[in-house]
Amino acid sequence: MADPIVVAEGLHKSFGDVQALRGLDLSVPRGTVCGVLGPNGAGKTTAVRILATLSDPDAGHARIAGHDVVREAGKVRARIGLAGQHAAVDEKLTGRGNLRMFGRLYHLSRREAHRRADELLERFGLMDAADRQVAGYSGGMRRRLDLITSLILRPEVLFLDEPTTGLDPRSRGEIWDSVRELVADGTTVLLTTQYLDEADRLADDIAVIDHGRVVAAGTPDELKATIGDRLDVVLEDPAALRPAATVLNALAGTDPTMTGADRLSVALPGGGLRLADIVRELDRAGVAAADVSLRRPSLDEVFLRLTDRKEVL
Amino acid sequence: MTALAPPPGHRLRWTFTDGLTLVGRELGRLRQEPGELVSMLIFPAIMVVLFGYVFGSAIQVPGGGDYREYLMPGLFSMVTFTAVMTLMMRVATDASRGVMDRFRSMPMARLAVPFGQTGADLLAGLLSLAIMAGAGLLVGWQPHRGLIPAAEAFLLLIVLRYALGWVGVYVGLVVKNEQAADQMVPLFLPFTMLSNSFVPTDGMPGWLRFLADWNPVSAITAASRELFGNPGVPPEDAAWPLAHPVAAVLLWSAALLVVFVPLSTRAYTHKGR
């Protein structure tokens, strides 16, 4: 792994009585996508705001490409791009007008700003809408314009704060494609999201944060492995629910959850159990199963487990 | 991959250049929304008709004279005061839409945004004054003391507008919310009305008259009347700001700038959130 380009150590931040961050540590290797996953209010946005120099931490420190976000904010700003939950562009201007204006504010020459605007519009498929007012753009187009506005300076690190929240599936797919292209160029991306499939698809590493702290980190596969495989059983007769639950409890060591009138689900402790063993145990207890399946957990289940929320049936 | 390095430049120069870019932004918005320009043109016409002919039909100008001649300096002050609301809305909209955060995350001069936005508003101010003056000329208003004093009056109006603009920037930065800012707009109405713009202050109850006499809107109205040679110039024994309106406007402008430029700058760079 290359050296980390984003480093956060022991970040604390409070707003009045609310502790948004309580010792957040983060390290993102250059050229990778780090997915910061957490429920609402976990501190994702606060963390991004500190890393993007918009907010100062109460304690701890953070560096981008070796520059401290508080003491060397100017150097950090020249290396980052930020695209947020809101499409932070001027709705009264055209798409091209926005890119040109922000290009000028990034201190590109007039010619360079115009050239860069055209280049980005072309590459990210907004050329047809370039001269239309942003107020008339669809949600997905706005978000894409917001994204490419943060790419004007070819940032080394791009912060995407919930880039697809509220978008329809097709627009989400388009944003994902854009992010993949950037990563292919070598940009490091730090992405916050509450969508697990988003993190699963895009991120090399995931940091799950809850209550302002990282509660788990690793690749999506590593995280899934931490909670073991998942066993789903569908019964022929719903009346057999109770004996079936007893069998599953004996196998897994925890109570299964009801996922339907005739089905149960339980997390199995790491490895050792084969499907055949499970079927035999059910048979012995006189439980007729219509379907028994063993699968990797979804990231949703990992997330719910790690963030200590009640499992959703 | 190499980053496009912004060329090194003097901070002051960049503040100025960035400010100009933001002025260009306002022009770009106007080009996209010509309707805004039309309403800018119609508004003065409506005000002149409404106040000049509706109020004017019943109001006696103290010391004699035409009410529309008396009214125009008041209308100039009124459009000048709108700078507070315009900038408050601009800044609050940028803040609530995340545009302000984008500016703050960019390697641009710290002061460029507030300076650019207040600078851009000067253009709007000049335009609205010119339109209002045109409407005034159409209904018989005119400057009577010649070009130089008239130019001085417009200059004073612009200076005060710039200072008032910073009040708007500060309020917008503190409110940070489009809807909340929108709801605050009516609160500013009393500032323009509680003055000598439309009626003399002499007839107001004592405490109200005190507020009206010391209102900067009254000072700029009195200064314009004096410099344009329009009726309604306050007597020598009027309250100090009305007896010395030009000095009062300059003092007010300086005071507003001294207070609100640092406050706005601090609010813009504030990193507590």
Name the token pair of A270.
């790491």
Please, what is the average pLDDT of chain B? Answer: 88
Is B108–A54 a contact, with Cβ atoms under 8 angstroms apart? no
**Assigned token pair, A138:** 């669809």
φ, ψ for residue A198, nearest 5 deg: -65, -50
Given A92, A97, A105, which is nearest B108 (Cβ)?
A105
Q: Which residues contact A100 (CB under 8 A, 6 or more apart)?
A: A113, A114, A117
Residue A262 in tokens = 């005739």
Phi first, then psi, for residue B161 (nearest 5°) are -60, -45
The whole-number average pLDDT for the span B205-218 is 92
User: Pairing relation of β-strands A67-68 and A4-15?
Assistant: unpaired
Strand partners, A15: A18
The shortest CB-CB distance from A106 to any of B6, B25, B97 is to B6
What's residue B273's pLDDT?
61
Confidence at residue A310, expressed as pLDDT on a 0 to 100 scale:
45
User: CA-to-CA distance for A51 and B175, rounded, in angstroms?
Assistant: 24
At residue A232, the pLDDT reads 87
Average pLDDT over residues B149-156: 96
What is residue A313's predicted lDDT score, i.e. its pLDDT? 34
* Model pLDDT, residue A206: 92
Q: What percent of chain B has pLDDT over 70?
A: 95
Asked if A252 and A231 count as a contact pair (C-beta separation under 8 A), the reply is yes
Q: Which residues pair with B263 in a beta bridge?
A: none
Q: pLDDT for B113-144, tens place per residue?
A: 888 889 888 888 898 899 999 999 998 899 99
Residues of B in contact with A186 (CB under 8 A): 1
Contact A92, B92 (CB under 8 A): no
Q: A 207-266 residues with CB below 8 A of B?
A: none
Q: Collapsing DSSP states into helix, strand and coil, what is residue B200?
A: coil
Contact A148/A129 with Cβ under 8 angstroms?
A: no
Is the ipTM higher than 0.90? The answer is: no
pLDDT for the residue B2: 42
What strand order describes the sheet that includes A59-64?
Answer: A18-29, A4-15, A59-64, A67-68
pLDDT tens readout for residues B53-87 = 888 888 778 777 888 999 999 999 999 998 999 99
How close B272 comes to chain A (CA, Å)? 6
Say which residues have a Cβ less than 8 Å from residue A60's Cβ, sequence separation at least 6. Answer: A8, A9, A10, A11, A12, A23, A24
Let me know: does A151 contact A83? Beta carbons within 8 Å.
no
CA distance A104 to A167: 30
Write out the residues of chain B at the interface with chain A, using a CB-CB cutoff of 8 A.
Answer: 1-7, 9, 14, 17-18, 21-22, 24-25, 28-29, 32-33, 97-99, 101-108, 112, 271-273
Tens place of pLDDT for every residue, chain A, 313 residues?
Answer: 457 999 999 999 999 888 999 999 999 999 999 999 888 888 999 999 999 999 999 999 999 999 999 999 999 999 999 997 766 899 999 999 999 999 999 989 999 999 999 999 998 889 999 999 999 999 889 989 999 999 998 899 999 999 888 888 888 888 898 888 888 888 999 999 888 788 888 999 999 998 899 988 998 888 877 777 788 889 888 888 888 888 888 888 888 888 888 888 888 776 667 788 888 888 888 888 888 888 777 777 777 777 765 443 3
In terms of pLDDT, which residue wins out, B258 or B1? B258
Q: CB-based contacts of B227: which residues, under 8 Å, 6+ apart?
A: B143, B145, B149, B150, B152, B153, B156, B246
Is B198's pLDDT higher than 90?
no
CA angle A266, A270, A271 (to 5 degrees): 100
How is residue B51 annotated by DSSP? I
Contact B273 A54 (CB under 8 A): yes
Quote the pLDDT of residue B3. 45
Query: Which of A219, A194, A183, A189 has its CA nearest to residue A204?
Result: A219
Please, which pLDDT band fits residue B163 given cuts at 50, 70 and 90? very high
Task: State whether A79 and B3 contact (CB < 8 Å).
Answer: yes
Nearest chain B CA: its distance from A85 CA (Å): 9
In sequence order, the 6+-apart residues with CB closer than 8 A to the CB of B264 are B114, B166, B169, B170, B173
Residue ranges and CATH numbers for the domains of chain A are 4-224 (3.40.50.300), 228-296 (3.30.70.100)
This prediction has a pTM of: 0.82
- Residue A31 forms contact with B (CB below 8 Å): no
Nearest to B32 among A56, A93, A186 (CB): A93
pLDDT class of B9 with cuts at 50, 70, 90: low
- In whole angstroms, give the CA distance from residue B213 to residue B240: 8
